[in-house]
Chain A
Amino acid sequence: MRRGFAPWADPSAKPLVRFESVTKRFADTFAVDALSLDVYAGEFFALLGPSGCGKSTLLRMVAGFEAPDSGRVLLAEDDIAGVPPYRRPVNMMFQSYALFPHLTVLNNIAFGLKQERLPKDAIAARVADMLRMVRLEALAARKPHQLSGGERQRVALARSLAKQPKVLLLDEPLAALDKKLREETQFELMDLQSRLGTTFIIVTHDQEEAMTVAHRMAVMNRGRIAQVGTPAEIYEQPNSRWVAGFVGDVNLIEGKLAAGTAGATLLEDARGRRFHAAAATPAAIGAPAAFAVRPEKLRLTATPPAPDAINTVGGEVIDIGYLGDMSIYKVRLDDGAVLKAAVTNVVRLAERPIAWEDRVWVSFAPEAAVLLTC
């Protein structure tokens, strides 16, 4: 990411794509519900959410395949309501790639340029550029069915970028690739986006993908935006239990706010245990709230803690998930609640001190806990 690139923080910046309380119903369900969102020029923006949350509908509204029932979609401050898809200066990369099966790679990429009635040599030059960009020069004469999944994905990317759109819309562009290729392609996409400077809006249900590629992301749920922010903001400061649980893994400690020292928050759970967080309390004392702690921020020890240790609870290891680089320990607390702790495997498996059914203590730093009130 470019250092200091944050147009969303600049109050004078004008958004390139703006959704203004957009609503879209299918039958009687809200696909998009009074949603407002700004995307700025040069951003790599991710729409993240479970299937059916309305993220694809939002993308298709920019492309022109869906029209909002109410609200406005603005592109560079112009309402694009009446503009048909073939006149919009945006292009889409489809989840299925939608390559024309009867055309060669070359003609697939040239398709959009030919619609503009550009001179032949201009088209040829641009197509050659695109082929070079996605490293498919050798396969220009092939038909889509003669390509691997990864190659098809690159043709689709080249085709959607050939017309130099103002906004590139990517609908689950990597969903059909295997994990390793997907991760490589994510980095290629980021690299490409920063080189071209084109605004990319990507729709994905894969939170790792969104966090890897995007400058900012909007987490969507049931047609609404749950939270917008940089990946780090959303991961470190989720604004609700739902976001905390959807983006990454999380342990929630439920309780009521208790009176604490200034600049810190105290939470008392149902059994009277008290937990400390470093953030100031925004809500009233006695209000129900939760502390969210990421599994990798939990510490696990087999030795009993000092009597004055804070944020420490005892339990029994009931499950160990070995992932290679790290292991996930599930610890059942004395009250039956289960916490997940992720521990990096710095020593070999056989030398690990904690095993199944061991009595362990789980603790976290006050800085690791995020206070959630909704």
Chain B
Amino acid sequence: MNDRPARRRSSGEWLIAALPYLWLIAFFFVPFLIVLKISLSQAAFAQPPYTPVLDLTAGLAGLRDFLHGLSLSTYALLASDDLYLLSYLKSLQIALVSTAILALLGLPLAYGMARAPRRIQPVLLMLVILPFWTSFLIRVYSWINILQRDGLLNDALLALGIISEPTTWLASDTAVYIGIVYSYLPFMVLPLYATLQKLDDTLLEAAADLGCPRWKAFFLVTLPLALPGLAAGALLCFIPIVGEFVIPDLLGGSRTAMIGQTLWTEFFANRDWPVASAIAVVLLLVIVAPIAFFESLQAREIERR
């Protein structure tokens, strides 16, 4: 391999290799730098609503003034007021619990789909994807309808005699969990199904042949081999749930806001762009940490193979 003469890459090949990086630079890295810069500014009654603003016409002196104007005061604020810390913790808690519920629901669902007769698997897959055909917002609004005091859920429970008085579902963590689990279930089921569907049936026969009953084979063979799908599903759910805004805003209570709601309030209600930006930067760090962790896990797994 090494003594093969290095082949010159054509400019076309370079372009194709560079495209994803260009995309990331233009639509992730540059916007992130802008947000990072705003997070180091201070709120002001101005247009734009923060200082300092880089004045390019003033030349080097303008740049020096600009750099002098930057400070970490917004981050100090985030650290001093435990509103923000509670918000982050709330988001992480909701994301962790929802991801766990999603895994517990998604695993048997995906397993059942993958073990279903080949013929009906496309139908089942279609049913999982079907909700995407309706607007996400409409689906969350429908949950308000279902969960409200005289909604479908209470009607059904009353009719069945399970409860005698209508229960308050809306404006609670329960409602948020219901909304999140409902909305994110496909993102957990699809990668799990993809992994389980590829699973070789003869492995289960081999396990049975070697004296392992079916239920035990699930834990000894199926589950370990489904772990990559489970990790992918968990990441696909956990990351957006941490930053979720719409579901807690529509279904949740007002007592403790998730970080997405806090950010929204800072940005739109308080017009405090620097604090909103600082929240976004910290949120990114909070989310990057688990990704980096999973990546290193995966890398170790690949190394072990």
Contacts and interface: CB of A to CB of B under 8 A. Distances in A.
Nearest to B223: A102
A98 B202 contact: yes
User: What 3 A-B pairs come out closest when comparing CB atoms?
Assistant: A112-B210, A115-B211, A98-B206
- Which of B200, B208, B216 has the largest number of chain A CB atoms within 10 A? B208
Contacts of A116: 211
A105 B86 CA distance: 49
Interface of A: 63-65, 84-87, 91-92, 94, 96, 98-102, 111-112, 115-116, 143, 145-146, 159-160, 163
Contact of A96 (B202, B216, B304): B202
Classify chain B: how many residues form its interface, as a range: 10 to 19
B76 to A, nearest CB: 48
A85 B209 contact: yes
Contacts of B202: 94, 96, 98
Interface string B205-241: 1111111110010001100110000000000000000
B225 to A, nearest CB: 6
B207 A111 contact: yes
Contacts of A87: 211
Contact of A86 (B200, B203, B209, B221): B209
A53 B96 CA distance: 54
B305 interface: yes
A92 B211 contact: no
A86 B213 contact: yes
25 contacts: A65-B205, A85-B209, A86-B212, A91-B210, A92-B206, A92-B209, A96-B202, A98-B200, A99-B206, A100-B203, A100-B206, A100-B221, A101-B225, A102-B224, A102-B225, A111-B207, A111-B210, A112-B210, A112-B212, A115-B210, A115-B212, A145-B305, A146-B305, A160-B209, A163-B211
Nearest to A96: B202
Given A112-B209, A115-B211, 13 more contacts: A63-B209, A84-B208, A85-B208, A91-B210, A92-B205, A94-B206, A98-B203, A100-B206, A111-B207, A111-B210, A111-B220, A112-B211, A145-B305
A92 to B, nearest CB: 5
Interface of B: 200, 202-203, 205-213, 216, 220-221, 224-225, 304-305
Contacts of B305: 143, 145-146
B200 A96 contact: yes
A115 B210 CA distance: 7
Contacts of B221: 100
- Which of A84, A98, A99, A146 has the largest number of chain B CB atoms within 10 A? A98
Contacts of B220: 111
Contacts of A146: 305
A145 B301 CA distance: 13
B203 to A, nearest CB: 5
Nearest to B212: A115
Nearest to B217: A86
A173 to B, nearest CB: 13
A160 B209 CA distance: 9
